[in-house]
Amino acid sequence: MTSPTAVPPKRRVISNILRGSVGNLIEWYDWYAYTAFSVYFAATFFPKGDSTAQLLNTAGVFAVGFLMRPIGGWLLGWYADRYGRRSALTLSVTVMAAGSLLIALTPGYRSIGIAAPILLVVARLLQGISVGGEYSTSATYMSEVATHTRRGYYSSYQYVTLIAGQLVALAVQIVLQQVLTAAQLESWGWRIAFGIGALGALIVLYLRRGMDESASFENMKRDRTERASAGTLRELMRHPREVALVIGLTMGGTLFFYTYTTYLQKFMVNTSGISKPTAAWINFFALLLFVVFQPLLGALSDRIGRRPLLIGFGVLGTLVTVPSLTLLANTKDPVFAFVLMTVPLAISAGYTSISAVVKAELFPTNIRALGVGLPYSLAVAIFGGTAEYIALWFKQAGHESWFFYYVTIVVFISLIVYIRMRDTAKDSRMTEVAPAPATTS
């Protein structure tokens, strides 16, 4: 058998990135499968006329969307800084597998009564913790194991797999819609999607056990002082400027991203008057192109720096939001609608392709995962997670266009942050270290 030390470093980098990326894909598939199939299983868990079950449904969605992701970013960020990136990534996918398996196997309301929605909420809480911690840990790990000169390129695959997870969930939905009747999907077919997610998570669990630990973390463990303070909130508070930077650079990016991904499909149907199937296909192909933009711009950031891409996103995002959404609100042409979704997504890639590496480069090793995870998750909860609700609130109030200006203002605030911040590619807290010894499984 070949000695682990004989494996070329580049091959190890690619292997680690692939194992981390596949796990990220499965985690986000499980997350989006809930949204994609909720229309089919809602009646199973939350029957009409049961006010208690309906309240549990509302509370569960709130807890997962706005509470558990920051908690996941905190808990798994702490765990990653304290016990290692590989261990945290393995724990993250284990929690996600448990959540998906619980949804797949939980009987309906008619069989076990109020226990059904309670178990669904518990499963979604587990998924919220997992996906909240997955971002920070995978962002840290993929940035640390990447070679110094290609850090932007390799870390961009985090968003590649994030969007790919959503696309796979949509693809599974389309396939099941073709082979099963609506009645079969509502009765039991939706469980297949969560079974696929649980099985995929178990496969990833095996793959992640064979990943190398990052050399940055291994080196940090040798320093007694850094090891003692690793992952603590007290240590994080020693970096208030970096925490504020993560929130400031995330708020515009996440609001813009959620506006042009999860909300835009509903916007096309409710405002533009485009049919649901057509809007779904527009969404699918626009996201497919969005995936392609990530490594291209990630690689560009390795050449010209991170800050020019962020400033480009900030300037173009500020200028394009109002006209693109105004035009989209007044068109039923699917080709034009596709262009009006794809162009802003291409602009958004200036943020999404490098957001992980920029945040990771702000912090020292002993607080990196927590420093990325907690402030990021808070910003996503406040600005990204509420995008759809604020948009619909403005629409209900008769001032839908006010939402366009709200997005513009938040992106502009982030633009100011981008202009004033340092270029992390040139001034990084992440130093080049020797590769960690390969791990055999």
Domains with residue ranges and CATH for the chain: 1-222 (1.20.1250.20), 238-427 (1.20.1250.20)
Angle at 257 between CA 251 and CA 261, to 5 degrees: 150
The mean pLDDT value for 362-370 works out to: 89
Q: Quote the percentage of the chain above a pLDDT of 70.
A: 90
- The conformation of residue 11, written as its DSSP 8-state character, comes to H
Q: Are 375 and 243 in contact (CB under 8 A)?
A: yes
Query: Would you say residue 51 has pLDDT above 60?
Result: no
**DSSP symbols for 81-103:** HHH-HHHHHHHHHHHHHHHHHHH
Tokens of 317: 């995002």
So what's the pLDDT on residue 310? 96
- Which of 118, 16, 128, 1 is CA-nearest to residue 62? 128
- Segment 157-184 shows an average pLDDT of 87
Is the CB of residue 96 less than 8 Å from the CB of residue 127? yes
At residue 316, the pLDDT reads 97
Q: DSSP string of 299-316?
A: HHHHHH-HHHHHHHHHHH
Instruction: Give the Cα separation of 82 and 88 in Å (integer).
Output: 9
Question: Is pLDDT at 352 greater than 90 in this prediction?
Answer: yes
Side chain identity at residue 102, one-letter code: L
Does residue 218 contact residue 435 with C-beta atoms inside 8 Å?
no
Tokens of 423: 């270029």
pTM for this entry: 0.84
Number of Cβ within 10 Å of residue 307's Cβ equals 21
Look up residue 306 and give its two tokens.
Answer: 């991170």
- Residue-wise pLDDT for 83-135, tens only, equals 888 889 889 888 988 988 999 999 988 888 888 888 888 888 888 888 888 88
For 247-305, the pLDDT digits (tens) are 999 999 999 999 998 788 888 988 888 887 888 889 889 999 999 999 999 999 999 99
Q: Which of 61-65, 167-171, 222-226, 386-390 is least confident?
A: 61-65
192 vs 124, residue with greater confidence: 192
What is the 3 state secondary structure string of 178-204?
HHCCHHHHHHHHHHHHHHHHHHHHHHH
Residue 209, SS3 per DSSP: coil
Segment among 58-67, 192-201, 359-368, 384-393 with least mean pLDDT: 58-67
User: Which of the 8 DSSP states describes residue 7?
Assistant: S
pLDDT tens, position by position, 378-415: 998 889 888 888 888 888 888 989 999 999 999 999 99
Which alpha helices (H) appear in 46-156, and where do they start and end? 51-62, 69-83, 85-105, 109-112, 115-145, 151-155
Kindly tell me if the per-residue pLDDT of 418 is higher than 80: yes
User: For residues 76 and 373, is the Cβ–Cβ distance under 8 A?
Assistant: yes
Instruction: Report how far residue 123's alpha carbon sits from residue 154's, in angstroms, rounded to the nearest whole number.
Output: 32
Q: Where are the alpha helices (DSSP H) in 209-354?
A: 215-221, 224-229, 233-236, 240-258, 264-267, 276-304, 306-329, 334-352
Give residue 4's pLDDT: 39
What pLDDT is stored for residue 339 in this prediction?
Answer: 95
Instruction: Collapse the DSSP code of 5 into the 3-class scheme (helix H, G, I; strand E, B; otherwise coil) and give the result.
Output: helix
Q: Whats the size of the chain, residue-wise?
A: 441
**What span, in angstroms and rounded, lies between the C-alpha atoms of 346 and 155?**
18
Residue written as tokens 């070329």? 8
CA 258: distance to chain centroid? 11
Instruction: Say what the pLDDT of residue 57 is.
Output: 65
